[in-house]
Amino acid sequence: MTQEQAASPEVELEDFGMDAAAAELEAVRAERDEMRDKFMRVLAEAENSRKRAERDRKEAELYGSTRLARDLLPVHDNLSRALRVIPEESRAASSALIEGLELTLRELTNVMTRHGITTISPAIGDQFDPQLHQAMFEAPLPDTKAGQIIQVMTEGFLLHDRLLRPAQVGVSSTPG
């Protein structure tokens, strides 16, 4: 071996085909890294899909009955109205009918509560909340401040944390 050959190790590597093997090894490593990256992305996408499906399932479980719940609200309203408009002088003669209406309304309310439906019952004098109330009219009323509820036409309802129907109210427009 000459001194020139000893000083140049590249010549020896080329002689044994080591450069080609090193290049091939580097290509395999790059391909491995690319496959690992693709695998991690697919794994993350699968996890995101699983979470999305779980969220959709929970949403369907909680809010899948929204249409039925909305359809029950007029029944609740009508039973409540029927009980409110019965004159005092007729109550004694119609006690069995009134008791039946009260029991029906109570059972309907219990069923609604079991299924996550809660009542929004604003009181006269409460402040108007556009998230929960629908202003049906505005009118100036002495001894009130603007934005105070002065009349409640119908109760509102929530299904869990979502608004099914806002409470329909009249609001004072008296300047404060």
Q: How far apart are CA 130 and CA 163, in angstroms?
A: 11
What is the phi-psi region of residue 167: left when phi exceeds 0, alpha when psi lies from -120 to 50, beta otherwise? beta
Q: Is 98 exposed, middle or buried (0-12, 13-18, 19+ CB in 10 A)?
A: middle
Read off φ and ψ for residue 15, nearest 5 degrees.
Answer: -60, -35
User: What is the token pair recorded at 97?
Assistant: 């009918």
Overall pTM > 0.75: no
Q: What is the CA angle 88-93-98, rounded to 5?
A: 70
pLDDT values of the chain reduced to their tens digit, one per residue, 176 residues: 555 555 555 555 455 667 888 889 999 999 999 999 999 999 999 999 999 999 999 999 999 999 999 999 999 999 999 999 999 888 888 899 999 999 999 999 999 999 999 999 999 999 999 999 999 999 999 999 999 999 999 999 999 999 999 999 999 998 86
DSSP state of 148: B
Give pLDDT, residue 15. 53
Residue 159 exposure: Cα atoms within 13 Å on the Cβ side: 18
Q: How far apart are CA 44 and CA 35, in angstroms?
A: 14
